[in-house]
Amino acid sequence: MVNYPHNFWLKYFMNQGNNVVVWNYRGYGCSKGTPDPYNIKRDGEAVVEYCIKVLNLKGKLSIYGRSLGGIVACHLGKNLKGLDLLIADRTLANFDILTKKKMYGRFI
């Protein structure tokens, strides 16, 4: 289920003619696994690759990440070629602090 404020952004992107794909990181929602800094960045890369190569989505590539998702969005923005729009909404200023308190693994 997608609730406010996420549903606002989903409607906004769809009304602009964008393809929209939403996913949970491993360990969130009904997905399995354990989130760690390395895995969540790889998850984001895998989703983008799947959208382009398997779903064959065309058009502008935009990425929106809120909170923890902003870390992944910024990672993708730094490493993807052809990104048209990046929104990092209410993301974290210091990922090291979060990893020590909330996640397993280490920040790379």
pTM over cut 0.95: no
DSSP string computed for 3-52: -TTHHHHHHHHHHTT------PPTTSTT--S---HHHHHHHHHHHHHIII
The model's pLDDT over 67-84, given as tens digits with 9 standing for 90+, comes to 888 889 999 999 988 888
**What does the pLDDT read at residue 14?**
85
88 CB contacts (<8 Å, ≥6 apart)?
A: 65, 70, 73, 74, 77
DSSP 106: -
